[in-house]
Each structure stands twice: as C-alpha cells, then as structure tokens.
C-alpha cells in the first residue's frame, strides 16, 4: 500500500533558495516589474513514497498459505530414477511435492528438466531427511539396493514405499532389513509409462499398509502419499501382498508371456488388420518396452507364476490335440470312406465278387507267368507255396480278389 505526504501550503517553498525571499528587491531579480506578483508563489511538493506493503514472515495471510502448502506437500526421495521413477516424478512435481532422486546411473540432466534435485551419493540424499523413500528399482536388484541405504542418516519414522510388480518378495525384504521404527507401504501401480502415458484415470493402484505407526502424523503421511494417486484418478485397491501376487500371476504374468511369445512370433501389421489383430500388435508394443529383467522377476519372485506357465502349456497342448483330432476324422473319411461303403453294401446281402482267371484283368499284378507251388503248400526247394528263390512261379490256378 502506498502512502503519500499531504499537500500543504508553505510560506517558503522548499524548491527555491531562501535568499530569494530575504528582501523585496530580491523579488525584482526574479520577476520583471510587469509580472511581479503581489504575494509569494506557493509551490506544491512532489509526491513522496513514505512506505510500501511487502510480504513479511509475520503476515497472517502468508503464514496460512505456507502452512497449507507444507501440510499438503511431501518431501519424496526416489531411489532408482529410470523410466518408471521419472514417470512417477512428473506427477509428484505437478502436485507440488518436493522430489529428490538417486540412481546408480547419472540422471542429473533428466532430473533438472523435471525440477527434481538429484544426488549421486545416497548419503547426501538421506541427509535431506525425506519423509518418504520410494524404491523404484528392478526386482532383481531390490535387495542389494536396500542394503546400501544409510538408514542412520534418515529420520527414525521415515515411510518406505515400493512400487515393484511383485509384492510378497519386497515386503519380506523390507521387514528384514528396515529398522522397526520405519513405516512400510507396499504398492503396485498397475500401469506404466506406456499404458499411463496420457492419463491415470481408472487405472488400478494396489496397496497394502504393511506397517504404519499409530500416531496421527504417520497415518496422515501415508494417506497423503496415497492421495497423490487418488487425485490423478486411479482406482484405489487395498489388497494384501499375497492376494496381489495370486491375481497378478494370472493377469500380468500371462499378459507379459503372451506379448513376448507374439514378439518372437514376429507379428507384422498388414493392410487388412482386424480390431483383434490390432489388439495383439498393441500388446506386443506394450510388453516389448519393458526389460526382460522385469519379466524374469515376475516369474522368479512370484511363486504362482510357474503354475500359470504350466497351465498355458497344458492349454496349448489341449488345443493342438483338438485340432489334430478333427483333422484325423476328416482324413479318415477321405481315405477310407469308399472301403467302408463297400463293407456296408456287403452286409446288405450283395453278392461276393466273382473269381477271375489269372490274367483276365488287364494290368493285374498277378499274371499267368506266376504259379503257386505244389498242393501241400510248399515249393520243392522248401520255399513257401508259389515262391522259388524269392520269386513267384507261373500258375494257371484262379485267384480270388480280396479287398
């Protein structure tokens, strides 16, 4: 707020030297006789700024705004600042939270673009006393990363959160290595940089409050973190780690398996793609963007994955059996249909085929040049009847045609 000095009339204006008013003659020096005033000229003082409103720490409105921001924002440290860590950091920063990051690789430039403070040393990160430590590491490296965190530099009631695709495995690691004073929240955003690229609305977010302190501050901090995803429109699902792994093996692991199988099948787009085929191509694109370590972790650290893999194999074998069974029936009808019809006609009383003399049918494989042996069924040289040294002898006996 600006305040101005009052405009007043003074007998001696401050802008004129005082000697101009010492005598009447002095006034003649300033003004010619024709313009000589009968009285002194009174000048106005210029506007002067005496005070200005500014933002002070004791200002009540500023204090309320600061307290409101501090009460609704968290200091979140992300350990593992790869694609998924950066993907989550964008939402955290957008909602006004303070975000810190650390990773084995150098992501300092990416962090700077996102407005995230990057620390190459985990000790320096922990000395910032973040309220939440978010583990965004791969499944295979989780245990090694947890063991490398300097817990002694953190506050004793720090909240640890993981976002791994399996839940029982990281839960057991956190319970094993973290001090008892630390809180544990196991979560799984059921989406990633590809599926959640444009929006998180309606996408499932699974969480399990494994160990949260009873005091109000720690309960409120946990709810604040979960509220980040609720504000983005996620479908919040509270579920135990064991139940999550059971469901995930039948959905996420199977999805990744089929996507990688089709990738090796080398699906290609065509000018006549159907909607279903487009869905398969999109599945390949979504799963191909994830590392094989993720897929291997889904298999290795979810005890339900092997069962699903065996079921897939059994289902494929059953499908092949059904296909080949139908094909065998068709082939049987084509190959043996005429013979079966002949048998049916014989059963209806049709006459038996006539005996033909040898050589009566042109082109018959059995001609008059072949004969059977003697009547006792053996050749004189001991060969079977009709054979001599492995060859048939000529014969004039009639031959019955068999089917």
Taking only the tens place, the pLDDT of each residue in 43-67 is 566 666 555 555 555 565 555 455 5
Q: Angle at Cα 40 formed by Cα 34 and Cα 46, nearest 5°? A: 115
Q: What is residue 332's predicted lDDT score, i.e. its pLDDT?
A: 72
Question: What does the H/E/C string look like for the chain?
Answer: CCCECCCCCCCCCCCCCHHHHCCHHHHHHHCCHHHCCCCCCCCCCCCCECCCCCCCCCCHHHHHHHHHHHHHCCEEEEECCCHHHHHHHHHHHHCCCEEEEECCCCCHHHHHHHCCEECCCHHHHHCCCCCEEEECCCCCCHHHHHHHCCHHHCCCCCEEEECCCCCHHHHHHHHHHCCCCCEEEEEEECCCCCCCCCCCCCCEEEEEEEECCCCHHHHHHHHHHHHHHHHCCCEEEECCHHHHHHHHHHHHHHHHHHHHHHHHCCCCCCCCCCHHHHHHHHHHHHHHCCCHHHHHHHHHCCCCHHHHHHHHHHHHHHHHHHHHHHHHHHHHHHHHHHHHHHHHHHHCCCCCCCCECCCCCCCCCCCCCCECCCCCCECCCCCECCEECCEEECCCCCECCCC
Q: What is the pLDDT of residue 39?
A: 53
Q: Taking each helix axis from N to C terminus, what angle separates 292-300 and 254-264, rounded to the nearest 10 degrees?
A: 140
Compute and round to an integer the Cα radius of gyration of the chain: 47
**pLDDT value at position 384?**
52
pLDDT, tens only, 69-124: 556 799 999 999 999 999 999 999 999 999 999 999 999 999 999 999 999 999 99
Distance, in Å, from the CA atom of 22 to the CA atom of 29, rounded to the nearest integer, reads 12
Q: Which residues contact 348 (CB under 8 A, 6 or more apart)?
A: none
Residue 273's region, left for phi above 0, alpha for psi from -120 to 50, else beta, is: beta
Specify the pLDDT at position 116.
Answer: 98
Higher pLDDT, 395 or 170: 170
Tokens of 214: 């009873």
User: Quick one: pLDDT at residue 28?
Assistant: 46
Tens digits of residue pLDDT in 168-214: 999 999 999 999 999 999 999 999 998 899 999 999 999 999 999 99
pTM equals 0.62
**Residue 150: its pLDDT value, please?**
97
What's the pLDDT tens digit per position in 309-367? 999 999 999 999 988 888 877 887 777 766 666 666 666 665 555 555 555 555 555 44
Range with lowest mean pLDDT among 8-17, 146-155, 184-193, 298-307? 8-17
Q: Is residue 263 a contact partner of residue 284, using CB atoms and an 8 Å limit?
A: yes
pLDDT at 17 over 80: no
pLDDT at res. 102: 98
Return the ∠ at Cα 140 (arms to 106 and 315), rounded to 5°.
Answer: 130
Please tell me the predicted confidence (pLDDT) of residue 6. 47
Instruction: Give the integer Cα–Cα distance in Å for 96 and 73.
Output: 6
């Amino acid at each position: 707020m600006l305040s101005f000095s009052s405009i007043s009339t003074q007998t001696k204006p401050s802008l004129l030297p005082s000697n101009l008013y010492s005598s009447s003659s002095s006034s003649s020096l300033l003004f010619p006789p024709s313009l000589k005033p009968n009285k002194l000229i009174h000048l106005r003082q210029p506007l002067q700024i005496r005070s200005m409103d500014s933002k002070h720490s004791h200002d009540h409105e500023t204090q309320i705004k600061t307290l409101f921001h501090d009460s609704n924002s968290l200091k979140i440290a992300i350990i593992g600042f790869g694609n998924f860590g950066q993907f989550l950091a964008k939402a955290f920063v957008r909602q006004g939270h303070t975000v810190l990051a650390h990773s084995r690789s150098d992501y300092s430039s990416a962090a700077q673009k996102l407005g995230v403070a990057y620390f190459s040393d985990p000790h320096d990160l922990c000395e910032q006393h973040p309220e939440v430590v978010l583990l965004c590491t791969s499944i295979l490296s989780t245990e090694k990363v947890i063991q490398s965190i300097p817990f002694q530099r953190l506050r004793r009631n720090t909240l640890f959160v993981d976002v791994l695709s399996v839940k029982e495995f990281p839960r057991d690691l956190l319970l094993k290595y973290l001090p008892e004073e630390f809180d544990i929240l196991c979560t799984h955003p059921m989406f990633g940089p590809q599926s959640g690229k444009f929006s998180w609305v309606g996408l499932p977010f699974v969480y399990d409050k494994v160990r949260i302190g009873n005091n109000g501050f720690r309960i409120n901090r946990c709810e604040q973190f979960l509220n980040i995803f609720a504000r983005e429109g996620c479908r919040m699902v509270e579920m135990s780690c064991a139940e999550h792994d059971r469901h995930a093996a039948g959905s996420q692991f199977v999805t990744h398996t089929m996507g990688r199988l089709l990738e090796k099948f080398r699906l290609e787009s065509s000018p006549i793609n159907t909607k279903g085929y487009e869905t398969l191509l999109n599945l390949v694109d979504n799963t191909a963007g994830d590392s094989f370590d993720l897929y291997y972790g889904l298999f290795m650290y979810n005890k339900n994955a092997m069962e699903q893999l065996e079921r897939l194999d059994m289902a494929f074998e059953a499908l092949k059996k059904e296909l080949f069974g139908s094909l065998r029936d068709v082939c049987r009808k084509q190959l043996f249909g005429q013979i079966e019809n002949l048998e049916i006609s014989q059963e209806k009383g049709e006459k038996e085929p006539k005996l033909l003399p040898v050589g009566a049918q042109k082109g018959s494989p059995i001609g008059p040049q072949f004969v059977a042996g003697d009547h006792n069924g053996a050749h004189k040289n001991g060969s079977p009847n009709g054979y001599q040294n492995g060859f048939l002898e000529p014969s004039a006996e009639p031959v019955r045609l068999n089917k």
